[in-house]
Structure 1
Amino acid sequence: KIFKNAGDIKENGINMPMDTDPATGKLTSKGYLFIEFETPEQASLAIKNYDNYSMDKTHCLAVNRFTDVEKYSQIEEEYKEPEEEKFVEKEHLRSWLTDSQARDQFVLYRGDDVSILWNKKAEPPEEEHKRVNWTETYVQWSPLGTYLATFH
């Protein structure tokens, strides 16, 4: 019922394994089912639209490709430690706070020019970066001053 709008399901394309409950003798679902769609695109759309679909307050669907189920069921029993990746140092996001001259940065937007400048106490500002047509409307520092947002 849930997947009727997901795409065209092949004839006999729904398989829901059942088990007999030993206490009651009733047939109950094992908690999963397989659906085979006419095209891979329809299957991809069903995964996109119905993965994490909430059926009620306590039940949520997990939708996967059958190949993913096969892949994760073939995991080796013995743990193999992954190779250690070489550390690649990245630029510090707040490096401007460690400026050797303890200067503040500010942005200037005039006409089509946007400039980032260092504020110098007794001298004219020092231009760090300048671009023409960097924004269409305005620029804004992020709340902590880590990023400069431009609007297009």
Structure 2
Amino acid sequence: MLVPFVPTPYEVAREMLRCVKAGKNDVVLDLGAGIGNILKIAKEEFNVKLAVGVEIDRKLCREAYKNNNREFEIICGDMLTLAPILLPKADILVSYLSTRTNELLEPLIIQNGKKGLRIASNDFQYPNLRLVEKRRVTAEGILGPTEHTIYCYEL
């Protein structure tokens, strides 16, 4: 499933990682990683142990590789296929997808995510996961300030 690429603003990425309390012992998984903005912040500012992104668009994968100083890993592939393999290894899942994609991912998260998995989603909710916190953040965009809602969950 393709979701239109909209980069996560750095202010939003920071707040997502704060909300899930990212730290040095964490493995962060970004499904639909785009050019790797969240992964870059996770490594540079939160010093996470490992940051891995999955992106299906090969052009965005190439862009992520260019933006990456070997700080994070990008896997070019389908998140629905790779999620069952990668979720058991993740401590944190971040995403900026769509309502429909979150609905498709949710059963995979429940089946394959380990107990205590912390999840942050920008602007789109997971319908049945346990919501821990909801935060609002304003970020500068091309058309001026935009309001984002961050949903934080835990398995």
TM range (shorter): under 0.3
**TM-score normalised by L of structure 1:** 0.24
**TM-score normalised by L of structure 2:** 0.24
Larger helix fraction of residues: 2
Point out the structure with max Rg over C-alpha: 1
